[in-house]
Amino acid sequence: MINLKNNLNNYNHKILTEQINITSNELDTKSTNEIVNIFSEADKEPQKAVEKAIPEIINAIDEITTRLKSNGKLFYIGTGTSGRLGVLDASECPPTFCTNPDLVQGIIAGGISSLTRSSESLEDLSDIAIADLKGRKFSNRDVLIGITASGRTPYVVGALNYSKSIKALTISISSVPEIDSTLDNDIDIRLITGPEILAGSTRLKAGTATKMALNIISTSVMIKLGKVYGNRMIDLSVSNDKLMNRAIGILNDIGSVDKDTAVQLLKKTNGSVKLSLLIALSGLDVVDAKQLLDESRGNLRAALVNVKDH
């Protein structure tokens, strides 16, 4: 049951994400050209919001990396658009960086069905969020990023409070200033994008800023975990023609080997680009190269530094 009395009491102070954007007044009377230009101008705000949050984002990346290097996991949790963005970022890590699907996980209120159907009634149930985390065996070794544009979603607030109580690394991403919402966290990322073109529709500017921040965070963490060499995705396993061509290109560019040699290396390493690169650059055989890579915690650059000791 919705508490109408509380809603009316809170109406006098509209949080930032619910306020009216004066630049889009009478939007329904505008031409297509005018509508698109209003959106184009507004979409400059997410970049500015992310830029202002760089110190907190840097802190988050370094702290997440430390936890994951100590066998922790990264969890996103949210409802609606926020939940979908977390699930999307988590689901892209295995195909992009060849991670175990358990390493980065996205939790959305209502489960998978909520990716295509709304589950607004669950947004107000903080206890369900805690049960969802416990169901994933979330522990104090792990990291939780709670995503709530309004900074008030009970499902996410409950998850953040629980995470902090068990001393997991607790990070929040919201799109409102502290005057609108105080969150229990270790790292507070505020992406202030202002009122939306459609009042309250945070899938727009707030969602764009959140997607940008998640891209930066997860990609940077994977770089620090040794999933990248230079600016190439080397921790991939060849499983189709596109990836085979990409792998051959990487071995040619970085390992300076021709196509035939690249194919032979990939056959020897069961399609591992990283291991193939180490062999090409070091001259080690498969067994020694694999041992060195394991000793270097999967970091190719570190393994190359340690070649002389092998």
Report the alpha-carbon distance of residue 142 to residue 167 in Å, rounded.
9
Collapsing DSSP states into helix, strand and coil, what is residue 286? Answer: helix
Within 8 A by CB and 6+ apart from 290, the residues are 275
Residue indicated by tokens 């190359």: 304
The active-site residue, picked from 92, 120, 178, 196, is 92
Q: What angle do CA 187, 189, 191 make, to 5 degrees?
A: 175
Catalytic residue flag (residue 92) = yes
Compute CA distances 57 → 44, 78, 221, 297, whole Å: 19, 18, 11, 25
What is the per-residue burial (b if ≥16 Cβ within 10 Å, else e) of 265-304?
A: bbeebebbbbbbbbbbbbebebeebbebbeebeebbeebb
Which residue from 155, 197, 196, 193 is spatially nearest to 172, judged by alpha carbons?
A: 155
The active-site residue, picked from 18, 123, 178, 196, is 123
Q: Strand pairing of 104-108 and 74-78?
A: parallel
271: left (phi over 0), alpha (psi -120 to 50) or beta: left
- Would you say the C-alpha torsion 196, 197, 198, 201 has a positive or negative sign? negative
Report the alpha-carbon distance of residue 225 to residue 75 in Å, rounded.
17
Q: Strand pairing of 74-78 and 143-147?
A: parallel
What stretch of H or E contains 42? Answer: helix 32-42
The residues annotated with a catalytic role in the active site are 92, 123
